């Protein structure tokens, strides 16, 4: 554990299960993995627990995911018994081939040099062949040279400046500067897992028709009420099962895939570079640094599916996100989620005239299903999330369609 607070604990079952120290503030979760595959999260008591008690909890709560993984590993032979985690093999027989795909990792940042080292330290520790790895840090409309100075301390990482403000402009700059066949994006408030890139590349190799791969985003720490609330509100996590999505050849893709947030988030997404260049790159009128405040990642997910490409959600591609620590920051983030989502819908209606009716029907349904129902539940005693968070997102949703301003991004 590092830093002044308790971080998410990762337990790899092929290694020794550790003791869990007492938790003095917030919450601590244990992410359980087997050969790099996340199986689920268990919640130790605040007073901590011994390794034997944690192992017993893991066996009880995650028996089926463990068994499923071991049966797949056994390749016809008998899997190890679940009553002794020490019998689990140290290596996964299904994941022994070294990758041969070149990858550019892109981190887009703006005036956050003090927080950047945690992100870059994790990238420097990636388990991926260096000859195939290209890391680009895109400095978006910087006010000074502090980010350049930080990047200069990391050999092998390239510094690129994008002078025009906007996260999607920075993402586009990364795609144009990329040297790899795959462009993997993450954020400056994220620490990637050592096996992150291998999991992404494996998903692309196993699904050759995929244009996009997203992955699991877990909290780096849960030591403030705002961080815990974000997870209760929905968080970034999209589960522990791999999914492959492809739009059916129907008149409209919106009813099936308009809710693009369920596919992942921009903090953990990768695209084939050929797809990005042929699709026209990210829309610079969306996401942070514009009136829309978000939606650029959702738009690209939908565009991939609309075009008939596949999108893979691969939970083994894990990153740890540093959630907002204060309630004011959380409330702003939730409001921007509403703005960005409906700005993305407005962009979709503009870009695909045949989808316009479906977009507005979907937008009305989503407003009721996601926000109005939550608003009604928030009026009841014991609501899971504060009412003002729901109201903030609802207000953002109502103004979102008017925040998509493509003429301002030219």
Reported confidence tier of residue 226, pLDDT bands at 50, 70, 90:
very high
pLDDT of 377 over the 70 cut: yes
Give the mean pLDDT of 65-81: 72
Reported confidence tier of residue 173, pLDDT bands at 50, 70, 90:
very high
Collapsing DSSP to helix, strand or coil, 258 comes out as: coil
Give the mean pLDDT of 262-278: 97
Tell me the C-alpha distance between 118 and 95, whole Å. Answer: 28
| Confidence at residue 83, expressed as pLDDT on a 0 to 100 scale | 58
| Confidence at residue 345, expressed as pLDDT on a 0 to 100 scale | 98
Domains contained in the chain, CATH given: 9-87 (no CATH), 103-327 (3.90.550.10), 334-409 (no CATH)
pLDDT of 40 over the 60 cut: yes
Tell me the C-alpha distance between 209 and 95, whole Å. Answer: 21
Reported confidence tier of residue 4, pLDDT bands at 50, 70, 90:
very low
pLDDT of 98 over the 50 cut: yes
| Confidence at residue 385, expressed as pLDDT on a 0 to 100 scale | 84
Q: Which residues of 126-157 are buried (b: 16+ CB within 10 A; e: fewer)?
A: bebeeebbbbbbbbbebeeeebeebbeebeeb
Query: Would you list the DSSP string of 63-118?
Result: HHHHHHHHHHHHTTSPPPPTT-GGGS-SS-TTS-SPP---EEEEEEESS-GGGHHH
| Confidence at residue 335, expressed as pLDDT on a 0 to 100 scale | 97
The tens digit of pLDDT for each residue in 326-354 reads: 999 999 999 999 999 999 999 999 999 99
| Confidence at residue 81, expressed as pLDDT on a 0 to 100 scale | 56
Reported confidence tier of residue 79, pLDDT bands at 50, 70, 90:
low
Collapsing DSSP to helix, strand or coil, 267 comes out as: coil
Give the mean pLDDT of 163-168: 96
For residues 63 and 42, the answer to whether their CB atoms sit within 8 Å is: no
Give the mean pLDDT of 130-144: 97
**195: Cβ–Cβ under 8 A, 6 or more apart, which residues?**
36, 127, 316, 318
Tokens of 244: 């492959």
Q: What are the angstrom distances between the C-alpha of 292 and each of 168, 287, 406?
A: 11, 6, 10
Average pLDDT, the chain: 91
Tokens of 64: 């089926």
Give the mean pLDDT of 377-392: 86
The tens digit of pLDDT for each residue in 287-320 reads: 999 999 999 999 999 999 999 999 999 999 999 9
- Strand 268-272 and strand 210-219: the pairing is antiparallel
pLDDT of 75 over the 60 cut: no
Proportion of the chain above pLDDT 90, given as a percent: 75
| Confidence at residue 149, expressed as pLDDT on a 0 to 100 scale | 97
Reported confidence tier of residue 3, pLDDT bands at 50, 70, 90:
very low
Place of tokens 């971080």: 7
């Amino acid at each position: 554990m590092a830093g002044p607070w308790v971080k998410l604990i990762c337990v790899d079952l092929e290694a020794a299960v550790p003791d869990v120290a007492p938790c003095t503030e917030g919450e601590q979760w244990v992410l359980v993995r087997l050969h790099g595959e996340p199986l689920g999260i268990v919640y130790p008591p605040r007073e901590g627990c011994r390794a034997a008690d944690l192992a017993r909890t893991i066996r009880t709560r995650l028996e089926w995911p463990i068994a499923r993984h071991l049966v797949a590993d056994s390749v016809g032979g008998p899997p190890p018994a679940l009553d002794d985690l020490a019998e689990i093999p140290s290596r996964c027989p299904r994941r022994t081939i070294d990758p041969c795909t070149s990858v550019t990792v892109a981190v887009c940042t703006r005036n956050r040099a003090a927080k950047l080292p945690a992100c870059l330290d994790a990238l420097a520790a990636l388990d991926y062949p260096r000859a195939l790895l290209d890391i680009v840090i895109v400095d978006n409309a910087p006010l000074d040279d502090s980010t350049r100075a930080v990047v200069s301390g990391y050999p092998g990482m390239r510094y690129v400046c994008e002078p025009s403000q906007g996260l999607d402009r920075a993402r586009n700059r990364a795609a144009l500067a990329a040297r790899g066949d795959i462009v993997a994006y993450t954020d400056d408030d994220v620490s990637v897992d050592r096996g992150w890139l291998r999991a992404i590349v494996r998903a692309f190799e196993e699904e050759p028709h995929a244009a996009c791969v997203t992955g699991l985003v877990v909290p780096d720490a849960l030591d403030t009420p705002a961080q815990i609330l974000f997870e209760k509100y929905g968080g970034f996590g999209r589960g522990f099962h791999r999914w492959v999505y492809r739009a059916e050849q129907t008149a409209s893709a919106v009813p099936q895939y308009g809710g693009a947030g369920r596919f992942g988030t921009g903090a953990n997404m990768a695209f084939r570079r050929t797809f990005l260049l042929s699709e026209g790159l990210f829309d610079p009128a969306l996401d942070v640094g514009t009136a829309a405040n978000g939606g650029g990642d959702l738009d690209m997910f939908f565009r991939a599916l609309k075009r008939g490409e596949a999108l893979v959600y691969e939970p083994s591609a894990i990153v740890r996100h540093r959630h907002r620590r204060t309630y004011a920051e959380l409330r702003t983030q939730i409001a921007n989620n509403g703005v960005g989502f409906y700005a993305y819908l407005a962009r979709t209606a503009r870009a695909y005239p045949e989808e316009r009716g479906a977009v507005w029907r979907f937008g009305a349904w989503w407003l009721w299903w996601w926000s109005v129902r939550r608003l009604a539940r928030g009026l009841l005693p014991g609501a899971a999330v504060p009412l003002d968070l729901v109201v903030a997102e609802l207000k953002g949703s109502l103004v979102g369609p008017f925040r998509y301003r493509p003429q301002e991004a030219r």
